[in-house]
Structure 1
Amino acid sequence: MPLKTRVVEDSSGKLVINPNQTLEIVADFFKETFQNKDLASIASFQGIPRKLNKPFTSEEVRKSLESLKKNRAPGGDEISGELLKYGTPLLHKSIANILNRVFEQHETININSGELIAIPKPGKPKGPPKNLRPITLLNTIRKALSIITLHRIRPHTEEYLSHSQSGFRPERSTSDVAWTHKWLAAKAKKEDVEIKITGIDMSAAFDTIDRQILLDIIERIVEEDELRIIRFLLSDTVINTRINGATKERPFVSNIGTPQGDSLSPVLFSVYLENALKEVRTILPRPTNELEKTLPTEIAYADDVDFVGLNFVDTEEVQNTLHKYNLLVNIDKTEFTTLSRAGTEYKNTKKVGTLIGDEEDVERRKRLSNAALTKLLNVWIKGDKIKRKTKLKLYRSLVKSILV
């Protein structure tokens, strides 16, 4: 059962509580967000019907279904992941045959629809639709197809992405970003120089991608089969909006951005952004000395990008370049940080949840962990019916995770 959003503002700022009107307002808002009338929808297939060079196998289907997480709400097909996850080899073979026939005969199957649930963003005032977070429930077969595709393209995308990108990559995390900033701070102190960091904020970057540009980029990176599959996954993405337990029966086609809730989407976005950053690098000033040559050009985690140098970058030039890719920079939220031996302001600058200053970060983590432990006291001390094992899990996930 989706979380309820009881009150929503209409375009005039008036609060609406009627369930039907609320659903209408929210659905129209997300239709405007995920549909661009100036862009054409992607066709499911291109060229003549033909077999995949590397057809789907029952083993690929089995592994993809086994990787599905448990206890996840189903999409519009109302097929839970567990129903297919624990299926027999005969089921895996049947699914593989169906998917192969789709590309061999250009048959359309309705797996690209999604149920969009709008839940309130934490810490945001209730009312404005922009303060709702869209969660899309996808069909289970589509999830499996996305996972198969992700495994197939991963070697190609890893080779394409620069070392500066740490988001959604194997054996990479926010720690890489945090420690790179701390290393830069130590470098500035040791060399007694000022290192400038220009942090740009992109507005709803995942939702503004031009899918045709994305396909043009992907075509240069992956094999023909994977390009055909990705094209299929980007086409006919239909969204139904669900709120207060009801579903709006006027679905709309989303033709912009990477599909919500898709495990493949973060990697596709990273590839898209990397191509844009390659062009940005051509307009940035070249290093003028040996010290500057040792610095990274940028530090990125998904859509959070910091440009590094001995001078701040021209944000207007960066904005214009990214705009070619329909990536919108929020100039008002651009951060300018100076790392130096004498400076102290930068120590309280937060990067991916970590303060650059070591002492400042430790003190902050201690405060946050103490606050989290205080909130757990009722569960920890008075929760007689809660097993010790469960209490320890809560402690490790809610308290200890802040400290390490």
Structure 2
Amino acid sequence: MSAAVPAPYACQASQSRGRRIAEPAAPTRTDFQRDRDRIVHSSAFRRLVYKTQVFLNHEGDMFRTRLTHSLEVAQVARSIARPLGLDEDLVEAIALAHDLGHTPFGHAGQDALHACMREFGGFEHNLQSLRVVDVLEQRYPQFDGLNLTFETREGILKHCSAANARTIEAREPGGIARRFLDKRWPSPSLEAQLCNLADSIAYNAHDIDDGIRSGLLRAEQLKDVALFAEHHEQAAREYPALRAAPKRWLYETIRRMLSAQIYDVIATTREHLAEHQPASVNAVRQLPPLVRFSAQMQQQAVQLKQTLFANLYRHPQVMATTGRAQQAITDLFALYRRQPERMKPEFASRAGQAADDRALARVVSDFIAGMTDRFALAEHARWSGYRILEEQGS
């Protein structure tokens, strides 16, 4: 179901707060469409195909990567945006960009790089995604980065420490970091709120799929997880033959789980919109988050997440692999700080211009965060003389 006209609480490209550097409008695309297109054509977006979601890229061809995850988030988010009357192009742009700053090796790589950067300001992958679109992409003659609209950048920066928010606010007063400092702006746009929730919906579903495919997770371990068990049994009652086809049974269960969560978000958000009746995007920003699960669905989603954490993310095999991946990040960070000339020329040049050790560390962090899994492993083997992770068949 599609709204005939944009809802009053939705972002509208014609009323965007604009880009940091003014540009003429495109003749056939809105500014949000243009943002999406710039993201899709960026180098950072292409690198997501070889960045870990849960399982390292070399562990199998069929596991999700950051790229396939981003596409699934965009699909879920658009499915919710349309019936709510939100701007689908903006939703898609935010969804496709939300992980551009993620490190190789998933959250393990992020944790390792944050530990390396602790005394130099730390590492936040949401902030790094913003750095990618604001600074690190080098594609245009007029500016660094992609020069995206305020609304897309606001959605990308879904979390931010107070210290980093103050730094952003100092160079961009009243900009995308204000809400992390000023309690009068507790929320971003509905499109940004939606992408944050769609991220969780997508990865909970596909981590079940990948976990069972890997053999590290069994459907029996989810029998007490209400969100899974209800739809697992419902599917078998309607289609008894599925009990003899476990793969198809799993797919049908996950499909139903996704649908249930999507419909729950739509219904719950409509209730909040009816209660608060925001008349504009700015009104939305003065309210608590409105794009939410119902209390029951939220409880079920938390239970699922806890089960996946205990049985999949902390599985000894996953921990052993990610432990070696973290060591690779730590080793590379130490190497490039000592010998920055070993980085790619553009980063080595930036390192040579660094004013102090903190600035040098940030250049090294940018270089490592932009690596794919396979490039990080190859670089580690190149400089250490041994392979810290061995490739496996798919």
Same fold flag (TM > 0.5): no
Bigger Rg, structure 1 or 2? 1
TM range (shorter): under 0.3
TM-score when normalising by structure 2: 0.27
TM-score when normalising by structure 1: 0.27
**Per residue, is there more strand in 1 or in 2?**
1
**Per residue, is there more helix in 1 or in 2?**
2
